[in-house]
């Protein structure tokens, strides 16, 4: 029996003016993740992300008027591959602050790991 794919998901507030810089950073990070076992890295720029009355993506990241919500995920072959891969990613010199400028407020980033339930 094969292992279940594992997904790391992210919701990130990014300044609209930093879209190109974010994409450049995301492409560099994706290469590092893939080098350490990730199968796929997806980045989505918010286009139709409404404010909510009780909960919403904008509320969750305390979105500012000059920002947009980015939704992204990394697909791994398994949770074990993700755990080993993320350890290597964090130790990879290409992810150091000198090489990888963060163009978003990391304090408002939301992330979590998920076991794949269904792929329709």
> What secondary structure letter does DSSP report for 3?
P
Q: DSSP string of 23-61?
A: HHHHHHHHHHHHHTT-SEEEEEE-SS----SS--HHHHT
Please give the residue that has the higher pLDDT: either 84 or 119: 84
Residues near 37 by Cβ (< 8 Å), separated by ≥ 6? 76, 77, 81, 82, 84, 85, 88
Q: What is the structure's pLDDT at 62? A: 97
Provide the greatest CA pair distance for the chain: 48
Please give the residue that has the higher pLDDT: either 101 or 62: 62
Q: What is the structure's pLDDT at 2? A: 65
Query: Could you tell me the pLDDT band of residue 99, with boundaries at 50, 70 and 90?
Result: confident
Mean pLDDT of 81-106: 92
Q: What percent of the chain has pLDDT above 70?
A: 98
As a whole number of angstroms, the distance between CA 97 and CA 90 comes to 11
Mean pLDDT of 85-114: 93
pLDDT, tens digit (0-9, with 9 covering 90-100), for 10-61: 999 999 999 999 999 999 999 999 999 999 999 999 999 999 999 999 999 9
């Amino acid at each position: 029996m094969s292992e279940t794919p594992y997904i790391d998901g992210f919701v990130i507030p990014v300044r609209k003016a930093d879209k190109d810089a974010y994409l450049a950073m995301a492409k560099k990070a994706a290469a590092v993740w893939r080098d350490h076992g990730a199968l796929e890295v997806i980045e989505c720029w918010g286009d139709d992300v409404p404010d909510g009355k009780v909960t919403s993506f904008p509320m969750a990241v305390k979105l500012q008027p000059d920002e947009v919500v980015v939704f992204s995920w990394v697909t791994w072959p398994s949770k074990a591959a993700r755990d080993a891969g993320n350890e290597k990613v964090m130790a990879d010199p290409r992810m150091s602050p000198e090489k990888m400028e963060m163009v978003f407020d990391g304090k408002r980033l939301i992330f979590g790991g998920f076991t794949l339930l269904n792929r329709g």
